[in-house]
């Protein structure tokens, strides 16, 4: 994009890529409804370690997998329209858990580079599930 020119605001259409960046990355939004065991995905990343949030795993039958657009390795940019840029891991998980029965996520699909697409990041592994589902 030329200097001084701004990208138009994204529309929040669930599950469709909103735009493709010059470097091949796609930004898209999904809306998930909490299932009996949560939203069905886990995150990795943390502001305190200067690591952006990524989708670490998805439960095979959870809402995230059933939605069909999310992929392991996608970067999480926004939770309920709030930027994750300055969030700690603890804050992100709490924001998802306390946000009600639905969550809106804005994600970015990264083009794999080297290392067979693996990303070297510090891993924090907690599923976005209720504390006590029973």
Give domain limits for the chain.
Answer: 20-111+119-126
Residues in the chain: 134
Q: Predicted confidence band at 47 (pLDDT cuts at 50, 70, 90)?
A: confident
Summarised one tens digit per residue, pLDDT across range 111-131 is: 655 444 444 433 334 445 444
Q: Would you say 111 and 24 are in contact if contact means Cβ atoms under 8 Å apart?
A: yes
pLDDT value at residue 24: 61
CATH number for region 20-111+119-126: 2.30.42.10
| Token pair for 32 | 């998930």
Summarised one tens digit per residue, pLDDT across range 77-117 is: 999 999 999 999 999 999 898 889 999 999 998 765 544 44
pLDDT value at residue 52: 94
Average pLDDT over residues 22-33: 83
Average pLDDT over residues 1-13: 42
Residues 6+ apart with CB under 8 A from 46: 53, 88, 89, 122, 124
């Amino acid at each position: 994009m030329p200097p001084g020119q701004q990208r138009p605001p994204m529309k929040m259409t669930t599950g469709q890529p909103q735009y493709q960046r010059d470097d091949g990355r796609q930004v898209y939004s999904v809306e998930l409804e909490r299932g009996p065991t949560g939203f069905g995905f886990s995150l990795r990343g943390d502001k305190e370690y200067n690591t952006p949030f990524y989708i670490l795993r998805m439960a095979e039958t959870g809402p995230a997998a059933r939605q069909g657009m999310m992929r392991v390795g996608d970067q999480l940019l926004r939770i309920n329209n709030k930027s994750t840029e300055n969030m700690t891991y603890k804050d992100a998980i709490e924001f998802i858990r306390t946000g009600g029965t639905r969550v809106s996520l804005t994600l970015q699909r990264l083009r794999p580079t080297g290392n067979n697409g693996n990303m070297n990041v510090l891993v924090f592994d907690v599923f976005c599930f209720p504390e006590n589902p029973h």
